[in-house]
Chains A and B, each alone.
Chain A
Amino acid sequence: MEEIRNIARDLLEKKEADGILALREGDQAVVEPHVFRDPGDISRLVTEPKWLFAKTAMKILRSSPRDFRLAVVVRGCDDRALVELAKRNQVAEENLRFIGLACTEDQAKQCFCERPYPRTIHGGKPQPGISFLRDERVRSLLQGDSAERMKRWAALLGRCIKCYGCRNACPICVCVPCKLEDEVWVEKGTLPAERLVFHLIRAFHLSDTCVACGACQEACPVSIPLLALQLAMREALKDRYGYEPGLDGERKSPILKNFTEEPEAGRDVPDWVTPGDTENE
């Protein structure tokens, strides 16, 4: 934590950042987000509990003057989220300063995070990643008899109270308006939200951008394991195209390119390209 504070203080004193977005400890150990502007306050900067800032950082920058530079204390997922946001022109990298914080072992375990550290680490020791398949609940939701899974997912999603929290909390979801608000796609005013459209449209829109931060399911009041919807698609992208969102700011998502334009992705035409059926009768 000290190293983080020092860097933050430096940035403000050397005028390399106009504000630091991080947690502040108030009276009675209350923790709340805060934009530090005075090096004197930095002593109250804290890094726990885990709190995702990517989206807030983006929103702050959007409503700030162009030359405003915001430093953010980022964990691995925040870092990746900001990379994706920059890729989609939602933030400008030059307005951002990253203060990297590696998650603790327990946090990594708790999230089943495969990359619990940012690109550059200023605080904390990088912990080895943990496969989400180590999570009993998630595994049972991704593997095994499909008819069984179909029932379980239907039941889980049937809890949805349509709070839009998954979308609002997601660092990547930025569209205004959003398709989930359009009655052409999702019926309005009824609970639970139409399972198939509401949740699968949401999940699919993030298929190639989800950085697996888990903000969606943390924000879900009825504890639907929303991140699990994402994982299989993330794996598919990894296997087929060696692509993982949030790692490379330069490389565009492979599903936005055809095979000729992204040969390394297209070389092995996946086996689903079935010639179809040429029976003759």
Chain B
Amino acid sequence: MEEEKRKNRTELPKILVFACRWCGGIGAGRAGWKRLEIPASFRIIPVECAALVEPDAVFRALSSGMDGVAVLGCHVGGCRYNEANHAALKRLDLVKVLLDTTGIGGERLLLAFGTAHEDHQFAGIIRRFTDFLGKQPPLEPWTGFAKNADLRSEG
């Protein structure tokens, strides 16, 4: 059954990216300059620092139909905000634990750390994350059939 759903899935997995404007954000821009081809199925919400990403927003995103959420922060030790990203990482990693508990899978929340110049890293992260999520079962049972499922099944 799940197998079926996975096969029938035509559209690419949806990814929400929270990108720190000092690394991930710039990395994305530089990926553009280098014209690196990246799947178009991700949307970026720029943030001041990874520390600004509320765990609740991760859940909200998954519940609103995203297949995965990526948080791009600066290298550990390279934070512009006095290592605020350390605390953020500890926090978000607990979110992974919770996602694992429920079987949704902590891998649906990607934490990656780079610097502004790592444009290839940015491209690679998105590509690999897209591949990975493509192989995951859909989150339908969690996002509640009432909103999405019926439309898909009937029309």
Contact = CB atoms under 8 A, between A and B. Distances in A.
Asked whether the complex places CB atoms of A and B closer than 8 A, the reply is yes
B90 interface: yes
Given A190-B146, A229-B102, A233-B98, A277 B141 contact: no
Interface stretch (A41-49, A96-104, A117-125, A201-209): A201-209
Contacts of B93: 236, 270, 272
Contacts of A236: 93-94, 97
A272 B59 contact: no
B151 to A, nearest CB: 17
A170 interface: no
A256 B86 CA distance: 10
A280 interface: yes
Centre residue among A185, A201, A266, A278 by max chain B CB count within 10 A: A201
Given A196-B142, A260-B86, A279 B103 contact: no
A280 B114 CA distance: 14
Interface string B94-123: 111111111111000001111000101100
A196 B143 contact: yes
Contacts of B144: 192, 194-195
Contacts of B118: 276, 278
B142 A179 contact: no
A197 B84 contact: no
Contact of B56 (A142, A204, A229, A237): A204
B96 A272 contact: yes
A226 B8 CA distance: 34
B8 to A, nearest CB: 17
B-side interface size class: 35 or more
Contacts of A196: 59, 62-63, 104, 139, 142-143
A207 B94 contact: yes
Nearest to A228: B101
Interface of B: 2, 55-56, 59-60, 62-63, 76, 82-87, 89-91, 93-105, 111-114, 118, 120-121, 124-125, 128, 137, 139, 141-144, 146
- Of all A-B residue pairs in the complex, the 7 with the closest CB atoms, nearest first, are A149-B103, A150-B103, A258-B86, A154-B141, A277-B124, A196-B63, A276-B112
Interface of A: 141-142, 146-155, 158, 179, 184-185, 190, 192, 194-197, 200-201, 203-204, 207-208, 228-229, 231-233, 236-237, 240, 254-260, 265-266, 269-270, 272-281
Given A194-B63, A258-B86, A272-B96, 17 more contacts: A142-B101, A147-B103, A147-B137, A195-B142, A196-B59, A197-B59, A200-B99, A203-B98, A204-B94, A207-B98, A232-B97, A233-B97, A255-B94, A256-B87, A258-B82, A273-B76, A280-B120
